[in-house]
Amino acid sequence: MLRMKRRDFLRTSSLTGAGVIAANRAWALNRLEPLEDTLGEEYPYRDWEDLYRREFTWDKIGKSAHCINCVGNCAFNVYVKDGIVLREEQLAAYPQIAPDVPDPNPRGCQKGSIHSAAMYEGDRLRYPLKRVGERGEGKWQRMSWEEITTEIADKIIDIYETYGPGKLMTHTGSGNLSMVRFAAPYRFASLVGGVQLDIFTDVGDLNTGAHLAYGNPLESFTSDAWFDADYIMMSLFNPNATRIPDAHYIWEAKWNGARVVSVAPDYNPSSIHADLWISVKPGTDPFLAMSFVNVIIAEELYKPGFMKEQTDLPVLVRADTGRLLREADIVDGGSDQVFYHWDLVSGAAVPIKGSMGSDEKTIALAGVDPALEGTFEVGGLPVTTVFEKVKTEAARYSPEDTADVTGVAPETVRQEARAFARARKAILMHGFNIGRYSNGIYTGWAQALMLGLTGHGGKAGGIDTSWIDWNHPKWLELALFGFRKLPRLEPGGMGEFVRGHMIDHARAHYDPAKLKERVGFDLDELQEMIDESVGQGWMPYHGEMKGLISIADNKFRRNKFADKYRARILEEVSELFVDINVRMDSTAQWADYLLPAASHYEAWDLRTVGYHRFMNVFSKPVDPIGEARPDWDIMVLLTQKIQERAIARSITSYEDGAVTRDFHTIHDDYTMGGMLMTDYDATKWLVDNSPEIGGVSLEEGAERGFFVMTAEAGANQPLPPDEPYNPFVAQTEGKKPYDTLTGRITFFCDHPTFVRLGATVPTARLNAGPEASSYPLSFYSPHTRWGIHSNWRSNKFMMRLQRGEPNIYINPRLAARKGIADGSKVRIFNGAGEFFAQAKFYPSLPETSIMMEHGWEPHQYDQWKPMNNAMATLIQPLELAGGWGHLGFKLFKWNANQLAHESGVDVEPV
């Protein structure tokens, strides 16, 4: 063989292949003649090629995106033949909005591109199912839609009859982020008064530091607005894996001259392309941010003009009480939402405009020159400025003082602080990961201070929170009756923590004294602050439930202390557990009733969640598989049965606090008197009535695949048609007040919880970390490139790109110390629980950390023990603050996150 020519070898080996295929036929190998010219005239049989040609034929091309929680929002062509989806391809037809801004094409990722295979896999739910064995036993019986929804309707009514309103949770998770799919269960929950947790905090994605500073964590950049930045710092963010269709704007900005810095403990897939990787120790970002603040102040790199107008830094603070100087302090009957500047022009205190208590809705200074520094006397009271307080605090965090904690060299901090401060447009990008650290609020707040000091706001930069809250008034009407009727909303992280009795499990993991030393409170104090928050009405909590309707939510995979949490919830929802899902996920497995939903390509819908200006259209390229139905239609049927059964059982309505829950008209109310009977009706209603779509018809949109949203889509300010969207331009250019207590970017908070925890100005705290327990390794779980959470995790194409089973990442030196080989099985454990996984060597991880991508389904693990078994958690009490200006329960904007990275673990070979 060695003496054969390469060409001869290839010919022989392909013959061998043909021989294997032909072996069980009556052919003899010697009848196959080698061909010299496979494309030539004499080639005898070419009909087989038609198979491949026909692969590229189809009956129709539909349009779709993916409705799950990936923030990509990419339009796809969906190729259909004989009612089956053959494949999908990126549409790549978005217009370039301006000649000097790169276009957004092509959008997509490998997950979206294999859904045509995944949608027909064995875990798809095809029929309505009722449990016949014990919960979780896996024994099911098929039922008709009529029967199953009638049975569920009766059980819902039973719960109301026996226990009254407020005992049914109808929670929609984050698997449903398209407009109609998302509106359906919210509309249902609004009508029945079901409990709905805030999904942002339920999953741990809320950027509470951004809300604290700016009064709106969802006012951010379209990704194309990254392109003209000249300084980008990514913290807790890995866009190359988790913002696949948008990441190119970062690297194009780099090409365009931007300096790109990645702050991460591991050399992650985005760090490798950055100009600088700052390898911070896990959980120490607030110290790093405060060291930047320290340098900016010490080297006077700040911009007084911006500070005076846009921030509360010149607002007066009482030197005696340490509280903001309020009108009520110096004027009888004065407001507690009116504050003061010390005006250098008149040499006197003047009330500021634009605060929540001010009648003037502007922050324009109009002749006032507020002092940033100094001490003064107002009405006999000694006062100083917020900036003075900030300076005192920042002085404690010099780069030299913080270097031990962060592991970052002082010179690196000084160099970057200067480059950042001098940049024209600086963007501090936060991954959603910021919300999953107990000190994420400190990181966000301190980074906002870096920006506030250096004048990076509006078109000159800001925080990128990966989400824009577009203005969709008709969608709010559909989902929440324009806020006239609401579900029983509840803070996500806090709701899960309390209902899941997680504090008991936390006690088994944390050492109280060490915890207090790290985060500033122990678990008893945390309980006290939770009770205070609920007692004061700062955060709502609705108590024990009797029934649960769970929609597009994989709660038993997602929640921490996983197995204990599941046992607790199943015990609580003793009367009813319905799961509405496209797949037999780890939550569906435990339900009493399973209602199969139509997935991405099987229903009409629209989507804008993401950060571009395009509203993608789902044109229902194929019918739902099996007997699955669109989420909207499932709720249509369920309300129909509730109405029928209520009337048959002579029930009209339930008084529920200030509102009435009308069960005898619930179907008519849900469908707007029979107008919105299908997913198509609801989609069309949105398109026909939404100003931000600009009068284009659904037919045109479905043909094109997307709508380009008009100026009305901007919630804070109009969306410019030919420019990227930058946040808070209405404030920087139009002098509109921020939605904060003082009307300005906020760096002082005298809420009692902030006072109690010593956090009245931006400062630094540690997270719990391994040091708060007796388990030595830090443990964090970023998001995977090969799935969107649990979606597509078991798809064969995705599995082939990785190790094919749950794996942890471990530094080879740590592995060597522990006697662990690459590819071997290990046990990860702590005071919360344990799980088993394959070890994958990963030299770019600190030796003191274990990393594992989140999202594997529990049933993919040995003994079905999931990673979240070994995730201990707590909540951040600052995020429970209320009754203080912009702090108070606000859906998707302010309440406490569920935290993911507060555990210590240990690892051993198995």
Ligand X SMILES: Nc1nc2c(c(=O)[nH]1)N[C@H]1C(S)=C(S)[C@@H](COP(=O)(O)OP(=O)(O)OC[C@H]3O[C@@H](n4cnc5c(=O)[nH]c(N)nc54)[C@H](O)[C@@H]3O)O[C@H]1N2
Residues that bind ligand SF4 in the complex, under the rule CB under 6 A: 65-66, 70, 72-74, 107-109, 111-112, 244-245, 788
**How many whole angstroms separate alpha carbon 233 and alpha carbon 837?**
33
Footprint of ligand X on 573-602 (CB under 6 A): 580-583, 585, 597, 599
Determine if 246 is a binding residue for ligand X (CB under 6 A): no
Measure CA 43 to chain center.
57
222 binds, among ligand X, Mo ion, ligand SF4, none (CB under 5 to 8 A by kind): none
Number of residues in the chain = 910
581 binds, among ligand SF4, Mo ion, ligand X, none (CB under 5 to 8 A by kind): ligand X
DSSP strand pairing (834-841 vs 825-829): antiparallel
**How many whole angstroms separate alpha carbon 445 and alpha carbon 438?**
13
Q: Which of 65, 119, 263, 453 touches ligand X (CB under 6 A)? A: 263
Determine if 205 is a binding residue for Mo ion (CB under 5 A): yes
**How many whole angstroms separate alpha carbon 281 and alpha carbon 770?**
12
* Residue whose CB is less far from ligand SF4, 109 or 798: 109
**Residue 77 dihedral angles phi and psi, to the nearest 5°:** -85, 135
**How many whole angstroms separate alpha carbon 493 and alpha carbon 572?**
18
Partners of residue 615 on adjacent β-strands: 707
Q: Among 15-23, 198-206, 684-692, 737-745, which window interacts with ligand X (CB under 6 A)?
A: 198-206
789 binds, among ligand SF4, Mo ion, ligand X, none (CB under 5 to 8 A by kind): ligand X
* Residue whose CB is less far from ligand X, 582 or 713: 582
* Residue whose CB is less far from ligand SF4, 118 or 832: 118
**Smallest separation (angstroms) from ligand SF4 to the CB of 78:** 12
Determine if 791 is a binding residue for ligand X (CB under 6 A): yes
3-state DSSP assignment of residue 97:
coil
Residue 60's identity, in one-letter code, is: K
In the block, tokens 């956090």 appear at: 759
HSE of 762, CA atoms in CB hemisphere, 13 A = 40
582 binds, among ligand X, Mo ion, ligand SF4, none (CB under 5 to 8 A by kind): ligand X
Nearest residue to 204 (alpha-carbon basis) of 897, 746, 904, 907 = 897
Determine if 851 is a binding residue for Mo ion (CB under 5 A): no
**Smallest separation (angstroms) from ligand X to the CB of 82:** 23
686 binds, among Mo ion, ligand X, ligand SF4, none (CB under 5 to 8 A by kind): none
Phi-psi region of 813 (alpha: psi -120 to 50; beta: other; left: phi over 0): alpha
**Residue 118 dihedral angles phi and psi, to the nearest 5°:** -65, -30
* Residue whose CB is less far from Mo ion, 772 or 900: 900
* Residue whose CB is less far from ligand SF4, 175 or 399: 175
**How many whole angstroms separate alpha carbon 47 and alpha carbon 884?**
75
Contact letters for ligand X, residues 30-69 (x by CB under 6 A): -------------------------------------xxx
Distance separating the N- and C-terminal Cα atoms of the chain: 45
3-state DSSP assignment of residue 377:
strand
In this structure, the number of other CB atoms found within 10 A of the CB of residue 247 comes to 19
**Residue 324 dihedral angles phi and psi, to the nearest 5°:** -60, 145
Q: Among 159-167, 343-351, 404-412, 785-793, which window interacts with ligand X (CB under 6 A)?
A: 785-793
Structure token digits, residue 810: 């471990």
* Residue whose CB is less far from ligand X, 104 or 175: 175
**Smallest separation (angstroms) from ligand X to the CB of 55:** 28
Q: Among 2-10, 259-267, 372-380, 480-488, which window interacts with ligand X (CB under 6 A)?
A: 259-267
* Residue whose CB is less far from ligand SF4, 384 or 599: 599
Determine if 553 is a binding residue for Mo ion (CB under 5 A): no
66 binds, among ligand X, ligand SF4, Mo ion, none (CB under 5 to 8 A by kind): ligand SF4
**Smallest separation (angstroms) from ligand SF4 to the CB of 129:** 27
782 binds, among ligand X, ligand SF4, Mo ion, none (CB under 5 to 8 A by kind): ligand X
Determine if 174 is a binding residue for ligand X (CB under 6 A): yes
Cβ distance 473 to 482 under 8 Å?
yes
548 binds, among ligand SF4, Mo ion, ligand X, none (CB under 5 to 8 A by kind): none
* Cβ-Cβ contacts under 8 Å for 397 (sequence gap 6 or more): 287, 290, 291, 293, 294, 764
**Smallest separation (angstroms) from ligand X to the CB of 85:** 15
* Residue whose CB is less far from Mo ion, 104 or 204: 204
Cβ distance 863 to 399 under 8 Å?
no
Q: Which of 514, 785, 865, 893 touches ligand X (CB under 6 A)? A: 785
Which residue, judged by CB position, is nearest to ligand X in the bound state?
175
**Smallest separation (angstroms) from ligand X to the CB of 405:** 12
Footprint of Mo ion on 431-450 (CB under 5 A): 432
* Residue whose CB is less far from Mo ion, 686 or 788: 788
65 binds, among Mo ion, ligand SF4, ligand X, none (CB under 5 to 8 A by kind): ligand SF4
Determine if 868 is a binding residue for ligand X (CB under 6 A): yes
Measure CA 828 to chain center.
26
**Smallest separation (angstroms) from ligand SF4 to the CB of 469:** 19
Cβ distance 87 to 483 under 8 Å?
no
Measure CA 689 to chain center.
28
3-state DSSP assignment of residue 10:
helix
3-state DSSP assignment of residue 816:
helix
Contact letters for ligand X, residues 663-702 (x by CB under 6 A): ----------------------------------------
Structure token digits, residue 515: 């915890």
| C-beta pairs of 686-694 under 8 Å, 24+ apart in sequence | 686/179, 686/180, 686/474, 686/475, 686/478, 686/606, 687/606, 689/474, 690/472, 690/473, 690/474, 690/475, 691/473, 692/470, 692/471, 692/472, 692/615, 693/615
**Smallest separation (angstroms) from ligand SF4 to the CB of 90:** 8
Q: How many residues sit in the footprint of Mo ion (CB under 5 A)?
A: 3
**Smallest separation (angstroms) from Mo ion to the CB of 598:** 23
Footprint of ligand X on 509-568 (CB under 6 A): 551-554, 557-558
Q: Among 45-53, 146-154, 156-164, 232-240, which window interacts with ligand X (CB under 6 A)?
A: 232-240
DSSP 3-state percent helix, strand, coil across the chain (nearest 5): 35, 20, 45
Q: Sheet of 231-235: strands edge to edge?
A: 276-278, 259-263, 231-235, 426-430, 461-464
**Smallest separation (angstroms) from ligand X to the CB of 355:** 33
Determine if 203 is a binding residue for Mo ion (CB under 5 A): yes
**Smallest separation (angstroms) from ligand X to the CB of 576:** 17
DSSP 8-state secondary structure symbol assigned to residue 311:
B
Determine if 439 is a binding residue for ligand X (CB under 6 A): no
Q: How many residues sit in the footprint of ligand X (CB under 6 A)?
A: 62
Q: Among 32-40, 265-273, 378-386, 487-495, which window interacts with ligand X (CB under 6 A)?
A: 265-273
Nearest residue to 604 (alpha-carbon basis) of 92, 77, 174, 65 = 65
Q: Which of 97, 197, 203, 213 touches ligand X (CB under 6 A)? A: 203
Cβ distance 397 to 293 under 8 Å?
yes
- Packing angle, helices 679-689 and 179-192, rounded to 10: 100
Nearest residue to 602 (alpha-carbon basis) of 171, 167, 70, 62 = 62
Residues engaged in binding Mo ion (CB under 5 A): 203, 205, 432
Residues engaged in binding ligand X (CB under 6 A): 67-71, 173-176, 181, 203-205, 235-238, 241-242, 263-266, 268, 280, 282-283, 285, 431-433, 436, 551-554, 557-558, 580-583, 585, 597, 599, 631, 780-785, 787-791, 854-855, 868, 871, 900
